[in-house]
Amino acid sequence: VDSSRALQVTSYSGATYSPTLRAITLNLMTEQLTLTFSETIRGTSFITTSITIVNAVASSANGIDGFTLTGGLTATRLTAEGFQYHNVAVVNLSLPDLNTVKRLENVATSNSSTFIRLTHPSVDDMVGNTLVSMTAALEGTLIADVREPVLNGMEMNMSSGV
């Protein structure tokens, strides 16, 4: 637009709606949980301990199995231009969290047993609107860990025979 033809804005109203969760992928091979939101999120606002992986869409009073993450690192995907803000958050699961999820017999064993509960606050959009608490079905792919276990170490006490 030619600057001589540009018009000044007379009224501006920022976004007032909160981001929503659109898709989820739990990849136990890459040890990552990928969350796709309806709009760009502020990656630095993401709280990994607000995520609970559960086996059903129900309240915890209904006796469902689940596990709330205790840590992990979060990164938003970079755009082609290199900006850090995006609508996708990737959680690199911590080793203790990953092992706990893998030990649970009724959670994250198939798409039908993998749901995510996000408590409030969990993430903000670029103007500070916070995602509301929700439980969502897995809308992506659950990629199971099919690797054979590897022994990382052992201890032997020759005095006690153990």
> Does 65 have pLDDT greater than 80?
no
Is the pLDDT score of 96 beyond 70?
Answer: yes
The residue assigned the tokens 């992986």 is 53
Confidence of residue 27 (pLDDT cuts 50, 70, 90): very high
Per residue in 29-52, pLDDT (tens digit) is 999 988 888 888 877 777 888 888
Average pLDDT score, the chain:
78
Q: 88 pLDDT band (50/70/90 cuts)?
A: confident
Percent of the chain with pLDDT over 70: 81
Identify which has the larger pLDDT, 99 or 44.
Answer: 99
pTM of the model: 0.74
pLDDT at 49: 84
Instruction: Return the number of other C-beta atoms located less than 10 Å from residue 73's C-beta.
Output: 11
Q: What are the beta bridge partners of residue 118?
A: 51, 134
Q: What is the pLDDT of residue 74?
A: 67
User: Which DSSP string corresponds to 76-115?
Assistant: EPPPTT--S-EEEEEEE--HHHHHHHHH-SSSSSSGGG-E
Distance CA 81, CA 83 (A): 6
Residue with tokens 């408590």: 119
DSSP state of 141: -
Of 57, 53, 61, 42, nearest to 130 (Cα)? 42
One-letter amino acid for residue 117 of the chain: R
pLDDT at 29: 92
